[in-house]
Chains A and B, each alone.
Chain A
Amino acid sequence: MLKEPAVSADPTQVLAFEVDCHIFDGCGFPAPGLHSFVFEPLFTVGGIDFNKPMLLALVSTLVVVGFFWAAFNKPKLIPGKLQMVGEAGYDFIRRGVVYETLGKREGEKYVPIMVSMFFFIWIMNIWSIVPLAQFPVTSVIAFPVGLAAIVYIMWVSLTFKRHGFVGGWKNIAGYDKSLGAVLPAVMLIELFSNLLIRPFTHAVRLFANMFAGHVLLLIFTIASWYLLNGIGIAYASVSFVMVLLLTVFELFIQALQAYVFVLLACNYIQGALAEHH
């Protein structure tokens, strides 16, 4: 079997379907890799090169705003179907996430941003299994990073606003007198963990999940195509079944990761609001 080391460098070779190449034809498996997440710019507006993830992000905005506009623009006391679905989604985040973590009184003003964040992330994730789009926008680290940064700025500023300068640092460092001798070590670890690791993991958790999911889907999708030759057809069918299973699995992961992202955001805010723990 020939291995092609150069396959990863050229973004034009990303899609196996463009490379009409099957097993036993003398060409290697066009394995997906980091190159699968790099896209050529489609067009340029105002100095910004627009590529597929950016477009999908903007379409996500349209989808989320469009859906909620249709559902909530002229809400009725007795809801129609669309409004009912919108309300269910809205209530899920409002009650299931925000009220659960922050309580009704403190949480109320964080409801809009959490609802926006959840649905925005979810739709960005869903592109992964939408035909033709087939790319989770959040698997490009910039998108999770932007959202994680918003959450980070929110909870850090809130900490200092709530507890003052010294109290804020104490809160972030997990100051607790009863710890005694290990207190400095604990504070150092907490400070490091909360201020540096936390935003990183927050963004990367979402990014890596969607990244890995996309790679998995790519592997089996490409394999289904690649194996479609001679005896390989038998294996291709197995691979295709995997594509279907993984698609369902991804559908679940997409919603779950959006949920986790928002839940963590609420937890961070809760930590900022909490008295010294």
Chain B
Amino acid sequence: MSHLVQLASEEIQNPLLPPIPELVIGLIAFAIVFGVLAKKLLPNINKVLEERREAIEGGMEKAEAAKTEAESVLEQYKAQLAEARHEAARLRQEATEQGTAIIAEMRAEGQRQREEIIAAGHAQIAADRKSAATSLRQDVGKLATDLAGKLVGESLEDHARQSRTIDRFLDELEEKAEAAR
């Protein structure tokens, strides 16, 4: 014990002089730390850090690719949408034009049909009037002839003369009507 105290008091005189056993133990202790860390543990973690870096970079690349793709798809969609809009506008325009054309055509057709119908009506009316006039003239002639025959008692056989007489009569009537007008 006194020897140890002696040793201790010697060391007390030189706090800056390293005691050898401590020096050796310190170096051994550090060597163990360094050995394990440098040979095994730090390479371990370096590998994982590298892997992680790659994974992150890979992920970023993937994200970048996805972003590019999304952008191109968006662009495509936008183009398609614009095209569709354009197409729709064009169709609408066309439809409007066609509608207008159809309406115009229909109107023209209607007009034409109306005119046709009117014309046909006029013709019909004219024809009817003509035939009515003709038949009337005949009937009136006949009635007049019959009446005249009855009154005169004489049969007017001569058809030509008969009709001339009637015509003349009618012409006179017409002239009178003209004059009266």
Residues of B within 8 A of A34 (CB): 12, 15
On whether the beta carbons of B42 and A58 are closer than 8 Å, the reply is no
CA–CA, A38 and B14, complex, Å: 11
On whether the beta carbons of A146 and B30 are closer than 8 Å, the reply is yes
Residues of A within 8 A of B12 (CB): 8-9, 34-35, 38
On whether the beta carbons of B33 and A116 are closer than 8 Å, the reply is yes
Cβ 8 A contact of A77, one of B4, B20, B37, B52? B52
Residues of B within 8 A of A87 (CB): 45, 49
On whether the beta carbons of A147 and B15 are closer than 8 Å, the reply is no
Q: Is B32 an interface residue (CB 8 A)?
A: yes
Residues of B within 8 A of A211 (CB): 15
**In this complex, what residue of B is CB-closest to A145?**
B18
Q: Is A11 an interface residue (CB 8 A)?
A: yes
Q: Mark B19-38, 1 if CB is under 8 A from A, else 0.
A: 11111111101101110111
Residues of B within 8 A of A58 (CB): 25, 29
Interface range for B: 35 or more
Tell me if B's interface is mostly helix, strand, loop or mixed.
Answer: helix
Residues of B within 8 A of A150 (CB): 27, 30
Residues of A within 8 A of B15 (CB): 34, 37, 141, 211
Q: Is B51 an interface residue (CB 8 A)?
A: yes
Q: Is A143 an interface residue (CB 8 A)?
A: yes
On whether the beta carbons of A72 and B32 are closer than 8 Å, the reply is no
Instruction: For the complex formed, measure the closest distance between the CB of B46 and the CB atoms of chain A, giving whole angstroms.
Output: 9
CA–CA, A74 and B41, complex, Å: 9
On whether the beta carbons of B26 and A142 are closer than 8 Å, the reply is yes
On whether the beta carbons of A140 and B38 are closer than 8 Å, the reply is no
Q: Is A119 an interface residue (CB 8 A)?
A: yes
Instruction: For the complex formed, measure the closest distance between the CB of A144 and the CB atoms of chain B, giving whole angstroms.
Output: 8
Q: Mark B28-66, 1 if CB is under 8 A from A, else 0.
A: 011011101110111011011101100100000000000
Residues of B within 8 A of A54 (CB): 21-22, 25-26
Residues of A within 8 A of B16 (CB): 141, 204, 207
14 more CB-based (< 8 A) A-B contacts, given A38-B12, A145-B18? A8-B12, A9-B12, A35-B8, A35-B12, A54-B25, A54-B26, A68-B41, A77-B55, A115-B37, A116-B30, A120-B33, A141-B17, A146-B18, A146-B26
Can you name 30 A-B pairs with beta carbons within 8 Å?
A8-B12, A9-B5, A11-B4, A11-B8, A34-B15, A35-B8, A37-B15, A38-B12, A53-B22, A54-B21, A54-B25, A57-B26, A61-B29, A68-B37, A72-B41, A73-B40, A73-B44, A75-B44, A75-B47, A76-B48, A77-B55, A90-B42, A115-B37, A116-B34, A117-B30, A142-B20, A142-B23, A146-B23, A147-B26, A204-B16
